[in-house]
Amino acid sequence: MKNFVILLSSAVFLASCKNGLPFIGKKKHEKSDVTGWNYNDKNMGGYQVAKSKDQATGPGLVFVQGGTFTMGQTEEDVMGDWNNIPRRVTVPSFYMDRTEVANVHYREYIHWLDRIFPVEDDPNNKKIMDAALPDTLVWRSELSYNEPLEEYYFRHPGFNDYPVVGVSWRQAYDFCLWRSDRVNEGIMMQKGYIAKQGIQGQQQENNFTTKSYLLGLYQAQPGKPGKGNKLTNAQGAPRNVTMEDGILQPDYRLPFEAEWEYAAYGLINQNPRPSTKEGKRGEELQGNKQVYPWTHNMNSSGLRDTKHGSWQGQFLANFKRGSGDNMGVAGGLNDRAVYTAPVKSFYPNGFGIYNMAGNVSEWVSDVYRPLTGLDADDVSPYRGNKYMKLYKNANGEAEIDSMGRVKMEAVTDAESKSRRNYQRGNVINFLDGDSTSQASYGYGITTLVSDKSRVYKGGSWNDRAYWLSPGTRRYLEEDQSSSTIGFRCAMDRMGSPEGNKRKTGNFWRSKKQKR
């Protein structure tokens, strides 16, 4: 009789499941607040939504919480350039490299190019290598002996951790593209979505780029996803990673000028960490208008350390103190470097970023114009936009070039003329001299400014203290390089501007929640 009751109860329960009641252990689907339809349910449209997640911090980066600050001139304009007029702007949160890109990092890039585009296999690959290699001749000077640096600085292991120099803006830009793809390829390999690549794992046009993978133009060798990493479509079949999965990182890029300047000041009250309390957030710290990138010692010249024991009195940056004095006297070297110094020299600023003053000046993304600061937007001010779109062939298909990159083409003025937010595809010259923004420059005749002039910031090992202030700015053509200019990368922040595990906006708790 007892067994009969158990069997009867089981039959009733199974019947109830057929009538639509939930079965114990069945996956509960999240519903759309807009339609009421289930997400990730093949029986209700199959719309797939990944669980919300914070953006991971990419290799080499630190989080820089954005905010408002006064961009531009801090000290007297001794150069008389009138090109950094103070102006209040807002910078969204972003990520910045902790250090300048070092020789060892750039050699990794050269190694990858040599592996994927070997010159011995195709003589045309020599153009690719030549376009990427730093110009070591930047060390030469007519009245100085610098031949050892020309020969050894980039390749000798003694200089592994020193900033790469002789890199043009264009080369720095290409490095950022390469780095973006290698980071995302590494993530995909580590999670098993694509197979790990050996020394000969990729060849020429079939090399991984994030965009070619997302567009289905890269033929990936499948990997073996581990438990918890498997991705399936609505029908349960394996599928490729998409940007909506939150697995891939945004692109690395050169920081725009306002970002770089904001990050250099390190305007955050870290004592020992930023406070979350309303009254102690230090949001007006920028009012002190410090001159250099370190937040302590703001009431003095700011170039020497005042409180770190044996370091007290030592310089806080690698720069030129005066004529003929690039490092001090033997037994008491004031900045411990005659030329560049290792990328983690000296103390980091409030955001944890090294050498934002001195060592090497750094390329930023912006095209140089003296008065862009007055013309640009209040949020994310930037000059240099040239809008691009996906190139499609006669069959309406996207294509990749000989390096495996997806082909892009410029947005035309005809495509832009009916828009409200921009009317031209190339807006580098926007608000640049006349009503139609068609200004031109007599490059090499009346000015050295052109559409290829790019801003660099921060001062270098061979600059006086004036150039160490983040507000100063200079420019050089994007295809030129120098022994005093290097670079670092940045990345956009997705999600809450306050950082991971933080929500955006004010969220009021219900009465049931503890206060």
pLDDT, tens digit (0-9, with 9 covering 90-100), for 168-185: 999 999 999 999 999 999
The H or E element that residue 2 is part of is: helix 2-18
- 41 and 151 both lie in a single domain: no
> In a 3-state reduction of DSSP, which class is residue 426?
strand
- 84 and 126 both lie in a single domain: yes
In a domain, 175, yes or no: yes
Report the pLDDT value the prediction gives residue 289, as an integer from 0 to 100.
59
pTM: predicted TM-score of the whole model, two decimal places: 0.87
- 5 and 106 both lie in a single domain: no
- 254 and 370 both lie in a single domain: yes
- 183 and 259 both lie in a single domain: yes
Domain extent at residue 156: 63-191+247-381+459-501
Q: 347, 294 in Cβ contact below 8 A?
A: yes
- DSSP track, 304-338: B-SSSGGGTT-BSSB---BTTBSSEETTEESSS-S
In a domain, 439, yes or no: no
Which residue, 324, 293, 261, is CA-closest to 462?
Answer: 324
Residue owning tokens 């190339």: 426
In a domain, 215, yes or no: no
In a domain, 58, yes or no: no
Number of domains observed in the structure of the chain: 2
- 41 and 161 both lie in a single domain: no
pLDDT band at residue 207 under the 50/70/90 scheme: confident
> Per the structure block, which two tokens stand in for 62?
């630190």
Report the pLDDT value the prediction gives residue 205, as an integer from 0 to 100.
60
Per-residue pLDDT at 9 exceeds 90:
no
Rounded to an integer, the average pLDDT of 468-474 is: 92
Mean pLDDT of the chain: 83
> Per the structure block, which two tokens stand in for 348?
């980091």
Q: How far apart are CA 278 and CA 81, in angstroms?
A: 40
Q: Distances from the Cα of 249 to the Cαs of 54, 57, 185, 290, 365, in angstroms? A: 11, 9, 10, 34, 20
Taking every pair of Cα atoms in the chain, the longest distance, rounded to a whole number of angstroms, is 108
In a domain, 220, yes or no: no
pLDDT greater at residue 478 or residue 404: 478
102 — phi, psi (to 5°)?
-95, 170
Per-residue pLDDT at 55 exceeds 50:
yes
What torsion do the CA atoms of 431, 437, 440, 441 make, to the nearest 10 degrees?
Answer: -10
Per-residue pLDDT at 204 exceeds 70:
no
> Per the structure block, which two tokens stand in for 157?
């292991």
